[in-house]
Amino acid sequence: MKKAYVFPGQGAQFPGMGKDLFDQSEIARILFKKADEILGFGITEIMFNGTEEDLRQTKVTQPAIFLHSVILAKVMGDGFQPDMVAGHSLGEFSALTAAGALSFEDGLILVSKRALAMQKACELNPSTMAAILGVENEVVEKVCQEIDEVVVPANYNTVGQIVISGSHQGIDLAIARLQELGAKRALKLSVGGAFHSPLMEPARAELAKAIEDAPIVPPVCPIYQNVDAMPASDPTTIRKNLVAQLTSPVRWTQTAQNMIADGATQFTEVGPGNVLQGLIKKVDRSIETLSASQS
């Protein structure tokens, strides 16, 4: 049996996240306190006692999910022995850190820089995303290509579920067309901008140097990266894919399919929520899925 560990992305945050880890583990307490020092503000106070609105702050959301995921993996100790890892969008940084390719400090710094760069890009280009259910990927791709606005597939989440990303007008046009073509649902998401689209180019350019300068070493096992859904262990490949990630789609369906094809029979979600377990089950009902807190 091959074990895969997967790490959630933005949207998995919840008030009180990580408090149980802090209360139960000395390792967790040390890392949470270190995180406050690295970031220069009390993110742990916001995670443990803040509101949903507090957790939606750009400088908080991504580091909070990263911290919950990575610290949970550290607390698991010998229980964290993956044959392969992957992370959804932001979760790719958590996966790399948990698998030893990035240090805790370097991973957190990169995630913080990523969050702030994405916020700036969102302010430069007001934009949004929409979830499309019940339409073939090829149909969604064709509709996006035919619209004379920025609108692209952004997240291939699971079979029959894809998220598109682009300008407000581009998203409106795509929703209308996809509804005509029989989409079961086509709804705008409450997000700050067009993530994983060409409109994130300013963030990609800003983050590229930080990624190039970060000390990345081979992880303990292959990481299946968002950009191509393929396993990587070489730091040069990992860097290149991380840089491309901000303006490229998250190929999560393909990632899950490739991990299963390569022998994964058990997927454990490490971090807040259980969204990835649900997405993987829709790819293959026979696969065992777990939460790290229950495994």
**Which DSSP letter does residue 160 get?**
T
Scan for tokens 């990624």, then name that residue. Answer: 211
Is 50 exceeded by the pLDDT of residue 295?
no
Which pLDDT belongs to residue 241?
97
Distance separating alpha carbons of residues 153 and 174, to the nearest angstrom = 11
Which pLDDT belongs to residue 192?
85
Residue 226: which of 31, 102, 93 has the closest Cα?
93
Q: Are residues 119 and 143 in the same domain?
A: no
Q: Are residues 11 and 70 in the same domain?
A: yes
Give me the domain span that covers residue 243. Answer: 2-123+198-291
Average pLDDT estimate for 248-253: 97
Strand order from edge to edge, sheet including 127-133:
151-158, 161-167, 127-133, 185-188
| The model scores a pTM over 0.85 | yes
Number of domains in the chain: 2
Whether 196 is a known active-site residue: answer: yes
| Burial environment of residue 181 by CB neighbours within 10 A (0 to 12, 13 to 18, 19 or more) | middle
Q: What CA dihedral angle connects 193, 107, 21 and 52, to 10 degrees? A: -20
Structure tokens at 24: 């139960």
DSSP lists the bridge partners of residue 232 as 223
Q: Give the tens place of pLDDT for each residue, 84-103.
A: 999 999 999 999 999 999 99
Three-class DSSP category at 4: strand
Mean of the per-residue pLDDT values for the chain? 95
Q: Give the tens place of pLDDT for each residue, 56-80.
A: 888 899 999 999 999 999 999 988 9
Is 80 exceeded by the pLDDT of residue 294?
no
Whether 167 is a known active-site residue: answer: no
Which pLDDT belongs to residue 68?
98
Q: Are residues 173 and 108 in the same domain?
A: no
Average pLDDT estimate for 272-277: 94
Q: CATH number, domain at 64?
A: 3.40.366.10
Catalytic-role residue among 127, 196, 197, 248 = 196
Percentage of residues in the chain having pLDDT higher than 70: 99
Residue 193 inside a domain? The answer is: no
Cβ-based neighbours of 264, under 8 Å, separated by 6 or more:
2, 3, 4, 83, 84, 287
Dihedral pair phi/psi, residue 179, rounded to 5°: -65, -40
Catalytic-role residue among 25, 69, 89, 167 = 89
Q: Are residues 155 and 113 in the same domain?
A: no
Average pLDDT estimate for 158-186: 95
